Amino acid sequence: MSVRHSGNGHPDSSRDSIEINLDEIISSVGDRPDSLMPLLHAVQDRLGYVPPDAVPSIARALNLSRAEVHGVISFYHDFRTEPPGHSIVRVCRAESCQAMGAVELAAHIQKRLGIEFGQTSADGGYTLEPVYCLGNCACSPAIVVGDDLHGRVTSERFDEIISAISPRGREAR
Ligand code: FES
């Protein structure tokens, strides 16, 4: 049983035609109904999101209804149902960071990337997501760009980070 997705819809996507083998994932996480969360995380780890058309296969494999699988995906905001952008920017919106300028920083980031939280830029370059504590409160405000955690981020520092990660970053204004 496999799930194929067709990339993030952008012609230059390097993620086109990624195929995952659900049987392989199930062999590692199990096929009981309580395997749903680890299975969904494994799918998202591989594809960047959980394709809606994978729901019937997942439900069948774990002996759940489609509604049960869909309900879990929609309840937990960690799960995406659409392909993310090339770089995922996560901005901490929890208390410590809020107290140290995260509100202003978030406004700057949204303006700089031209998107709001939960959105992906039109060119597929960035997805902006909120998080609620990154465990880096001593260095608030904190963000994660890709796999990299950054602390004490100012608007200027954010611009430097974005400009450094890819040519797309330099284009984002
Ligand atoms: S509150 Fe932002 S890292 Fe903890």
pLDDT in tens, 77-87: 889 999 999 99
Q: What are phi and psi of 149, to 5 degrees?
A: -90, 135
For ligand 1, mutation pick of 91, 131, 133 (most atoms within 8 Å of CB): 133
Cβ of 29 below 6 Å from ligand 1: no
Contacts of 163 (CB under 8 A, 6+ apart): 169, 170
| Low pLDDT (below 50) residues in the chain | 6-18, 169-173
pLDDT, position 9: 40
Closest CA to 48 of 12, 20, 76, 11: 20
Cβ of 134 below 6 Å from ligand 1: yes
CB 126 within 8 A of CB 120: yes
pLDDT, position 156: 97
Contacts of 137 (CB under 8 A, 6+ apart): 94, 96, 97
* Measured distance CA(110)–CA(157) in Å, rounded: 15
Structure tokens at 138: 């001593």
Helix, strand, or coil here: 65?
coil
Cβ of 96 below 6 Å from ligand 1: yes
Q: For residue 99, how far is its CA from the centre of ligand 1 (angstroms)?
A: 10
* Measured distance CA(99)–CA(157) in Å, rounded: 18
Cβ of 18 below 6 Å from ligand 1: no
CB 59 within 8 A of CB 66: yes
pLDDT, position 19: 58
Cβ of 137 below 6 Å from ligand 1: yes
Cβ of 142 below 6 Å from ligand 1: yes
Q: For residue 97, how far is its CA from the centre of ligand 1 (angstroms)?
A: 5
Calculate the alpha carbon distances from 80 to 10, 34, 88 in Å: 17, 20, 12
* Helix residue ranges, H only, the chain: 22-29, 36-47, 55-62, 66-75, 95-99, 102-113, 155-165, 167-171
* Overall size of the chain counted in residues: 173
